[in-house]
Amino acid sequence: MPPQRTRPRESTGASASTDASESPPALAVEGLTKRFGSGADAVTAVDDVSFTIDRGSVVGLLGPNGAGKTTTIKSILGLVLPDAGSARVRGIDVHANPRTAYRHVDAMLEGARNDYWRLTVRENLRYFATIKGVKPRSLTDRHERLLEKLDLLEKADEPVRSLSRGMKQKVSLASVLASEADVVFLDEPTLGLDVESSLTLRRELRRIVEERDLTAVVSSHDMDVIEDVCDRVIVMNEGRVIADDSVSALLRRYAATGFSVTSADFTDDLLDDLRARFDVVETTAVDGATRVEVATDSDGFYRLLDRCRERGVTLEAVGTVEPDLEDVFVELTGRER
Ligand SMILES: Nc1ncnc2c1ncn2[C@@H]1O[C@H](COP(=O)(O)OP(=O)(O)OP(=O)(O)O)[C@@H](O)[C@H]1O
């Protein structure tokens, strides 16, 4: 089933409560806890999770399967009732005062149906804008731009049901991005999109965030997407937050993972020789030369240089291989995604 927009349901709330401060954060989660089941079968899906997200930022929510990301998001959206803790959108408690809080929120969750497949793309955008209380006329420019940017103009007057999976995904995204929500949740926003659409979406998301001071929480298993669009990353594992930092700070936490040597002298025979002696991670053709990446510490790097010298290889460049978000994720969680 294609990812569709999900509109948060009202949860049972008691008294209204708002933060008295002048400019409360876009989102503040405090001590959120959710257990499923009971007795020996009980699972603590979310375990005392707290974080605050400022306005105008894009935050990645990462974690291996079962880490508790979806349950956290659903608890904030009122789709799951947490056992403990609170979530506030712009200072408004989502459980105590859901109507007011969710006026600020929109979400695209994977697997939830929300676009009306019998309506055309344009009708869907207009419909969802209207039920959010936005005057459709004021949204027309925004819709047209998104339709154009996401390459949907040609299909704009076709029923959504006739579109491909990736296109349906784009309609859902356009609908969320065109809304006037202050906080949007995007679960796997680029899943099923082709490379070009994925890049366009990332650019549009950043542009909209800057233009409208939007706050986005992005959950994705695609580290390139996260590294590209997020200012900050919250990593969860086994229900808990195990890291919460800017992308650059997370990358700085870890030393270089290896070294690279580049030469035009590398033959297949020489590369086999290096593979037999070192942990060669990757070989890449670069402007008539070959760049060889080796996972090793500095001692290994000096042995690599010695071996190249012994074999008469003239090196054009040497360098370190810096970790990417994927490496950081594996270090933090001890698991592949
Ligand atoms: N409705 C439910 N009933 C029982 N257990 C649940 C329910 N929903 C989630 N869980 C359990 O809670 C834990 C966290 O699940 P959750 O879906 O929040 O993780 P996730 O980080 O979103 O994982 P994924 O990346 O696979 O989507 C898992 O152990 C899951 O099996």
- For atom 10 of ligand 1, which residue has the closest CA? 45
**Is residue 333 one of the residues assigned to a domain?**
no
- From 41, 49, 65, 80, give the residue whose CB has the most ligand 1 atoms within 8 Å, as the site to mutate: 65
Q: Does the C-beta of 63 come closer than 6 Å to ligand 1?
A: yes
Residue 14 Cα to ligand 1 middle (Å): 27
**Is residue 331 one of the residues assigned to a domain?**
no
**Can you tell me which atom of ligand 1 is nearest the CA of 71?**
18
8 Å CB contact between 283 and 270: no
From residue 17, alpha-carbon distances to 101, 104, 221 in Å are: 10, 15, 35
What are φ and ψ of residue 165, in 5° steps? -60, -45
**Is residue 329 one of the residues assigned to a domain?**
no
What domain range includes position 263? 258-321
Residue 71's CB is within 10 A of a number of other CB atoms, namely: 24
> Which candidate, 303, 302, 306, 312, places its Cα nearest to that of 270?
312
- For atom 29 of ligand 1, which residue has the closest CA? 66
What pLDDT shows up at residue 160? 87
pTM over 0.90: no
What pLDDT shows up at residue 196? 86
**Can you tell me which atom of ligand 1 is nearest the CA of 64?**
25
Q: Does the C-beta of 67 come closer than 6 Å to ligand 1?
A: yes
8 Å CB contact between 226 and 218: yes
Tell me which of 202, 235, 252 is where a domain ends. 252
Together in a domain, 154 and 214: yes
Together in a domain, 302 and 227: no
What pLDDT shows up at residue 19? 43
Together in a domain, 147 and 196: yes
- From 38, 43, 185, give the residue whose CB has the most ligand 1 atoms within 8 Å, as the site to mutate: 43
8 Å CB contact between 262 and 273: no
**Is residue 178 one of the residues assigned to a domain?**
yes
**Is residue 82 one of the residues assigned to a domain?**
yes
Together in a domain, 56 and 193: yes
Together in a domain, 231 and 308: no
**Is residue 84 one of the residues assigned to a domain?**
yes
Residue 252 Cα to ligand 1 middle (Å): 31
What pLDDT shows up at residue 232? 95
DSSP string, 216-250: EEEE-S-HHHHHHH-SEEEEEETTEEEEEEEHHHH
Residues whose CB is less than 8 angstroms from the CB of residue 195 and which lie 6 or more positions away in sequence, other chains included: none
**Is residue 326 one of the residues assigned to a domain?**
no
Which two three-digit tokens encode residue 63? 């974690």
Tell me which of 252, 286, 307 is where a domain ends. 252
Query: How far is it, in rounded angstroms, from Cα 146 to Cα 206?
Result: 13
- The whole-angstrom distance between residue 202's C-alpha and the CA centroid of its chain comes to 10
**26: which DSSP letter?**
S
What pLDDT shows up at residue 306? 95
Together in a domain, 144 and 194: yes
Query: How far is it, in rounded angstroms, from Cα 329 to Cα 22?
Result: 36
Together in a domain, 53 and 167: yes
Together in a domain, 183 and 92: yes
Q: Does the C-beta of 70 come closer than 6 Å to ligand 1?
A: yes
Together in a domain, 165 and 290: no
Which two three-digit tokens encode residue 141? 């420019």
Together in a domain, 100 and 233: yes
Which two three-digit tokens encode residue 111? 């697997």
**CATH code for the domain in which residue 113 is found:** 3.40.50.300
Q: Does the C-beta of 43 come closer than 6 Å to ligand 1?
A: yes
Q: Which residues, in sequence order, are bridge partners of residue 141?
A: none
Q: How confident is the chain (337 residues) per 10-residue block, as mean pLDDT? A: 42 39 86 92 94 95 92 93 95 91 85 66 82 68 84 89 84 83 90 85 87 91 90 94 91 82 96 96 93 92 95 93 83 73
> Domain count of the chain?
2
Three-state secondary structure call for residue 33? strand
Q: Does the C-beta of 75 come closer than 6 Å to ligand 1?
A: no
What pLDDT shows up at residue 256? 73
**CATH code for the domain in which residue 308 is found:** 3.30.70.980
Together in a domain, 205 and 295: no
Give me the interface pTM, i.e. the ipTM: 0.97
Tell me which of 252, 284, 308 is where a domain ends. 252
Q: Does the C-beta of 302 come closer than 6 Å to ligand 1?
A: no
Together in a domain, 111 and 213: yes
**Is residue 336 one of the residues assigned to a domain?**
no
